[in-house]
Amino acid sequence: MNNPFILFQLKPAPDLRTQEGDILPLDVLKARYTKVQAACHPDSFAMASEAQQKAASEMSSRLNQAYKMLRDDLSRVKTWLALLGLEIENQTTKPDMDLFELQMDLEERLAAVAAGDESQKATLIQDIESIKAQALDWFVSLAQNTPDTIEDVDTCLNQYSKLALSSRLEQRLYSM
């Protein structure tokens, strides 16, 4: 698989939302994305050969995909873990009662909001965002130790599950 971080010449990291000095990595990503799109977009090769047009279209679509992978928190963390040799798809997670209960609770509250109980919405959003932020922070502190591989796989998967759960619920909340 292509390494989307390399494509945009970014240092692999689980988080791009934290300010580094006066730079916000997410802004850097966006600026680079548009810069490389300008250089590769098929619109700029309309008068070139078919092969060149095809190559431009393929590159442009690769950039779109890579950009999406890095912009979204969950897929970015997943990509970062894969670079450290941990392929989420190939893992089996141990059943975790705490996580299960958390999920049930959030799903229930989400269902209530979906059924029209708007009063709960704000706190639900807050709770989901905070679960997400905590999980993300966990990966950020892991990254600070610049590991070569993931040692505590179980904790890592547990944190990833929290991130996945909160991302999924966030998505559903927004599309309501």
Q: Which helix (H) or strand (E) holds 50?
A: helix 50-71
Distance (Å) of CA 32 to CA 11, 17, 61, 105, 160? 13, 16, 15, 40, 28
Nearer to another protein (CB atom), residue 17 or residue 35:
35
Query: Going residue by residue from 21 to 60, which x/- string records binding to another protein, judged by CB under 8 A?
Result: --x-x--x---x-xxxxxxxxxxx-xxxxxxx-xxxxxxx
Q: What is d(CA 22, CA 36) in angstroms, rounded to the nearest whole number?
A: 23
Residue 128 in the binding site for another protein (CB under 8 A): no
Q: How many CB atoms lie within 10 A of CB 10?
A: 16
With beta carbons less than 8 A apart as the criterion, state whether 127 and 105 touch. no
Residue 64 in the binding site for another protein (CB under 8 A): yes
- Scan residues 65-124 and list those touching another protein (CB under 8 A): 65, 67-68
Q: How far is the CB of 13 from another protein (least distance, A)?
A: 9
118 φ/ψ sector (left φ>0, alpha ψ -120 to 50, else beta): alpha
Residue 135 in the binding site for another protein (CB under 8 A): no
Residue 174 in the binding site for another protein (CB under 8 A): yes
Q: What is d(CA 151, CA 122) in angstroms, rounded to the nearest whole number?
A: 37
Q: Which helix (H) or strand (E) holds 140?
A: helix 121-144
Q: How far is the CB of 94 from another protein (least distance, A)?
A: 25
Nearer to another protein (CB atom), residue 33 or residue 139:
33
Among 2, 19, 20, 91, binds another protein (CB under 8 A): 20
Nearer to another protein (CB atom), residue 21 or residue 95:
21
Q: Which residues would be at the binding site for another protein (CB under 8 A)?
A: 7-11, 20, 23, 25, 28, 32, 34-44, 46-52, 54-62, 64-65, 67-68, 174-175
